[in-house]
């Protein structure tokens, strides 16, 4: 019977494919989540007191509950309220909302970091609100946001490992599958860890170099 | 005015009829209409369910899923699950059926519907060679593991009051982690099914077959939506046919390699 | 989908869940304390890497980068069955503690480094030139400023540790999430249990943030708060 067998070369392909799914689910979530997060972050700087409070309260929920719980809860909630989502769709949705909650936070603080003096100067030079936004606040604010955003994006890539609990075969789930078959936890975990490191480390380095150069 | 009201009444009655007509569709209709059977299996339970060396699902339960799909003339969509994920998959409607060695306990029957048993196991321990465990009594005071949400876990817990401080239990998310824990010596013994224990003990130098556990026979059933009696009826008939046609014997011989156990219980109707 | 909620069993288990949340707080608190101590050491090691790198500095950099660039769930698995393959057996509690401390130390080390580097050398020299000892300089001048700089990220890290301790469930530790799953595994009503557990986490996080804000206000009020 073939239910246990050693590690083979094609298993690396199996892991690489799963790493592709890790990139896919985190890429989609980061893409959509960042766009919506930018808009919400901006809204948080312009809304009235009540609106800001409400929006912040909602976003805050997703920062105050473990991602693991969010995933399991929503995965089970969707079918209860009438539409069944597969592991990928449910995982993407939860990760996206999680990204929105994090990105809106860093966006808000980035935009608020643009000094009021600078903006007053811009307005007194005759720039309209939108011109001020377009030429002053966004360029200056976003540059301040960028390093924090990279941090958020990288944490979403890593946290996407939790989607494995929904049965989505991303990198970590695939390595568990292989461990089941080969009973070689150490080497398989090491390979999976190296994959994550190779995804995350270059981006982190690039961001910190960018930050350093910009700070000078 | 009256006429208008009557037409309105008619329309809404028709609407209600249509709506209830759709609501009445059972899982059987849905599966045939969809063209796929969403069948949940547990794949770290060799030889009942496992990943073969092409990293594809295989095993006794997997073949049962395929046979069931064939009988309905639909494709099979296998959903790999851990022990504790099995029943939520049914409750929330993400799987049509679980063929995952699910013991038909009364507690679970409050949540999902069960078919008649399609296989039966005996609970048996696998032990680390250094553990010195030979009888069930020897497991007292030793670290014992099982999968979270298995009946072995629940049955073992019934000894907790008796044993007091000698009761040392560790739950793991999957059966495979139980095997690994015994193999690495993290725990002294793991509780599983007898036919799984055999291959595991053969595979690892430092795992050997432990005592048969003093639990009741572990009849395992297919699980489906609790209220969907027509679907459960179909599953019952399917299990009957598998035995009648000799497919049950055939698959059991292929994967387990011994005589297929009798699925009836003497002295009582199901 | 006609789903009928069963809340009664969860309500009955509420005292057990609250007790389990103490385990959550305990493992999170310990991992933060360890994370701070190790993080400080790592930060100091890494900052002293000028020109030539010694093995110790490589060690610090490797720790920091691995902690920051791999998923914490991977780290927990590694401390579980990974180390187990070498015959090192940590209990589930120790796996969670080791994993979270390892991770916290990596992140906090970078926060501390940023905090130390933001304080100009001139302050140190000025303090020494008015007759303060090195210890006094650190105690009165450097540390308070660094503490203020890292207060916010440190609070975030504490919240993070509480949230991520939920992964204990996946390595067999029965903290809040693990216990909830264990109780739910009897009747498989996981949604109801996790909904209640989500509320408990929310309350815990709010309490931590409130405590941090109050403590921060007391510590830094002379400088206008955080």
Domain range enclosing A79:
17-170
- Of A51-60, B120-129, B258-267, C101-110, the poorest mean pLDDT is in B258-267
For residue B132, give the CATH number of its domain. 3.40.190.10
Does A3 map to a domain? no
The answer on pLDDT for C223 being more than 70 is: no
Query: Of B212, B239, B265, at which residue does a domain stop?
Result: B212
CA distance linking residue B78 with residue B40, whole number of Å = 6
> Which has more confidence, C159 or C132?
C159
Instruction: Report percent pLDDT > 90 for chain B.
Output: 64
pLDDT digits (tens, 9 = 90+) for B112-152: 999 999 999 999 999 999 999 999 999 999 999 999 989 99
The pLDDT value recorded for residue B74 is 97
pLDDT digits (tens, 9 = 90+) for C60-93: 999 999 999 999 999 999 999 999 888 889 999 9
The answer on pLDDT for C51 being more than 70 is: no
Mark yes or no for CB contact C70/A196 under 8 Å.
yes
User: Are residues B177 and B131 part of one domain?
Assistant: yes
Mutation for C interface: A7, A19, A22, A68, most C CBs within 10 A: A68
- Of A91-105, A115-129, A184-198, B149-163, the poorest mean pLDDT is in A115-129
The answer on pLDDT for A207 being more than 70 is: yes
CB C119 within 8 A of CB C47: no
What SS3 string covers C163-197? Answer: HHHHHHHHHCCCCHHHHHHHHHHHHCCHHHHHHHH
CA distance linking residue B65 with residue B73, whole number of Å = 12
The DSSP secondary structure of B56-108, one letter per residue, reads -EESHHHHHHHHHHHHHT-EEEEEEE-GGGHHHHHHTTS-SEEEEEEE--HHH
Domain spans, chain C = 8-223
Please state the domain count of chain A: 1
Query: Of B181, B197, B212, at which residue does a domain stop?
Result: B212
Mark yes or no for CB contact A79/B58 under 8 Å.
no
Give the distance, in angstroms, between the CA of residue C201 and the centroid of all CA atoms in the same chain: 15
CA distance linking residue A147 with residue B20, whole number of Å = 55
CA distance linking residue C185 with residue C199, whole number of Å = 20
User: Are residues B138 and B88 part of one domain?
Assistant: no
The answer on pLDDT for A125 being more than 90 is: no
Q: What does the pLDDT average to over C102-116?
A: 95
For residue A85, give the CATH number of its domain. 1.10.3720.10
Q: What does the pLDDT average to over B75-102?
A: 90
B171 touches chain C (CB under 8 A): yes
Q: What pTM value is reported for the model?
A: 0.87
Q: What does the pLDDT average to over A101-123?
A: 87
Q: What does the pLDDT average to over B154-162?
A: 90
Nearest chain A CA: its distance from C152 CA (Å): 13
pLDDT digits (tens, 9 = 90+) for B199-214: 889 888 889 999 999 9
Six-digit token pair at B227? 């209220």
Please state the domain count of chain B: 2
Q: How confident is the model at residue B19 (pLDDT cuts 50, 70, 90)?
A: very low
> Which has more confidence, B166 or C224?
B166
Mark yes or no for CB contact C172/B93 under 8 Å.
no
Mutation for B interface: C10, C82, C185, C191, most B CBs within 10 A: C185
Q: What does the pLDDT average to over A49-62?
A: 94
Q: Can you say whether the dihedral through the CA atoms of A192, A197, A199, A200 is positive or negative? A: positive
Fold of C8-223: MetI-like fold (1.10.3720)
Does A5 map to a domain? no
Domain range enclosing B244:
26-120+218-255
Q: How confident is the model at residue C49 (pLDDT cuts 50, 70, 90)?
A: low
> Which has more confidence, C121 or C111?
C111
Q: Can you say whether the dihedral through the CA atoms of A143, A144, A145, A146 is positive or negative? A: positive
Instruction: Report percent pLDDT > 70 for chain C.
Output: 95
Does B77 map to a domain? yes
Instruction: Report percent pLDDT > 90 for chain C.
Output: 62
Mark yes or no for CB contact C190/A76 under 8 Å.
yes
User: Are residues B34 and B159 part of one domain?
Assistant: no
Q: What does the pLDDT average to over C116-136?
A: 88
Does B15 map to a domain? no
Does A204 map to a domain? no
Does B47 map to a domain? yes
User: Are residues B62 and B145 part of one domain?
Assistant: no
Averaged pLDDT score across all residues of chain C = 91
């Amino acid at each position: 019977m073939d239910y246990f067998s050693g590690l083979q070369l094609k298993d690396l392909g199996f892991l690489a494919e799963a790493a592709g799914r890790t990139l896919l689910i985190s890429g989609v979530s980061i893409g959509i989540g960042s766009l919506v997060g930018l808009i919400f972050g901006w809204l948080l700087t312009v809304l009235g007191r009540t609106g800001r409070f409400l929006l912040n309260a909602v976003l805050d929920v997703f920062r105050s509950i473990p991602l693991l719980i969010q995933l399991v809860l929503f995965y089970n909630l969707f079918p209860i309220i009438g539409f069944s989502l597969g592991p990928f769709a449910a995982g993407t949705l939860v990760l996206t909302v999680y990204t929105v909650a994090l990105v809106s936070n860093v966006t808000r603080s980035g935009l608020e970091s643009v000094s009021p003096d600078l903006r007053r100067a811009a307005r007194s030079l005759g720039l309209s609100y939108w011109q001020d936004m377009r030429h002053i606040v966004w360029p200056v604010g976003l540059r301040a946001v960028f390093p924090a955003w990279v941090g958020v994006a990288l944490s979403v890539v890593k946290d996407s490992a939790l989607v494995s609990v929904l049965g989505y075969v991303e990198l970590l789930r695939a390595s568990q599958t292989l461990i089941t078959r080969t009973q070689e936890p150490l080497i398989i975990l090491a390979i999976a860890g190296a994959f994550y490191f190779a995804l995350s480390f270059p981006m982190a380095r690039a961001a910190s170099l960018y930050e350093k150069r910009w700070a000078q | 005015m009256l006429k208008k009201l009557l037409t309105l009444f008619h329309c809404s009655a028709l609407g209600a009829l249509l709506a209830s007509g759709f609501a009445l569709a059972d899982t059987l209709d849905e599966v045939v209409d969809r063209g796929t059977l969403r069948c949940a299996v547990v794949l770290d339970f060799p030889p009942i369910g496992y990943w073969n060396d092409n990293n594809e699902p295989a095993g006794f339960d997997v073949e049962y899923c395929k046979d069931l799909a064939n009988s309905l003339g639909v494709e099979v969509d296998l959903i790999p699950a851990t022990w504790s994920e099995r029943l939520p998959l049914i409750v929330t409607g993400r799987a049509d059926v679980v063929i995952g060695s699910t013991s038909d306990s009364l507690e679970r029957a409050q949540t999902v519907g069960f078919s008649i048993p399609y296989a039966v196991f005996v609970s048996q321990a696998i032990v680390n060679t250094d553990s010195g465990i030979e009888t069930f009594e020897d497991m007292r005071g030793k670290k014992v593991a099982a999968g979270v949400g298995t009946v072995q876990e629940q049955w073992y817990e019934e000894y907790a009051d008796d044993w007091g401080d000698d009761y040392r239990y560790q739950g793991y998310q999957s059966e495979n982690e139980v095997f690994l824990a015994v193999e690495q010596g993290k725990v002294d013994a793991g509780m599983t099914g007898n036919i799984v224990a055999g291959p595991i003990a053969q595979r690892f130098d430092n795992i050997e077959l432990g005592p048969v556990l003093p639990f009741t026979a572990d009849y395992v059933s297919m699980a489906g939506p609790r209220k969907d009696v027509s679907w459960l009826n179909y599953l019952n008939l399917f299990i009957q046919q598998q035995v009648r046609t000799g497919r049950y014997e055939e698959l059991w011989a292929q994967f387990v390699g011994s005589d297929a156990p009798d699925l009836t219980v003497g002295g009582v109707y199901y | 989908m006609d789903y009928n909620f069963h809340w009664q069993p969860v309500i009955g288990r509420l005292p057990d869940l609250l007790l389990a949340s103490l385990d959550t707080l305990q493992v999170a608190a310990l991992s933060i304390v360890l994370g701070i101590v190790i993080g400080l050491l790592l930060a100091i090691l890494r900052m002293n890497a000028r020109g030539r790198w010694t093995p110790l500095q490589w060690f610090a950099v490797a720790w920091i980068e691995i902690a920051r660039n791999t998923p914490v769930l991977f780290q927990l698995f590694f401390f579980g069955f990974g180390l187990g393959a070498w015959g090192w057996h940590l209990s589930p509690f120790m796996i969670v503690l080791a994993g979270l401390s390892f991770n916290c130390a990596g992140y906090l080390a970078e926060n501390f480094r940023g905090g130390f580097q933001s304080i100009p050398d001139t302050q140190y020299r000025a303090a020494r030139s008015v007759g303060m000892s090195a210890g006094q300089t650190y105690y009165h001048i450097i540390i308070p400023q660094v503490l203020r700089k890292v207060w916010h990220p440190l609070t975030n890290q504490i919240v993070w540790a509480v949230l991520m301790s939920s992964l204990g469930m996946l390595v067999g530790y029965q903290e809040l999430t693990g216990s909830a799953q264990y109780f739910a595994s009897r009747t498989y009503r996981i949604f109801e249990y996790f909904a209640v557990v989500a509320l408990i986490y929310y309350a815990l996080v709010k309490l931590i943030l409130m405590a941090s804000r109050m403590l921060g206000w007391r510590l830094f009020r002379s400088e206008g708060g955080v």
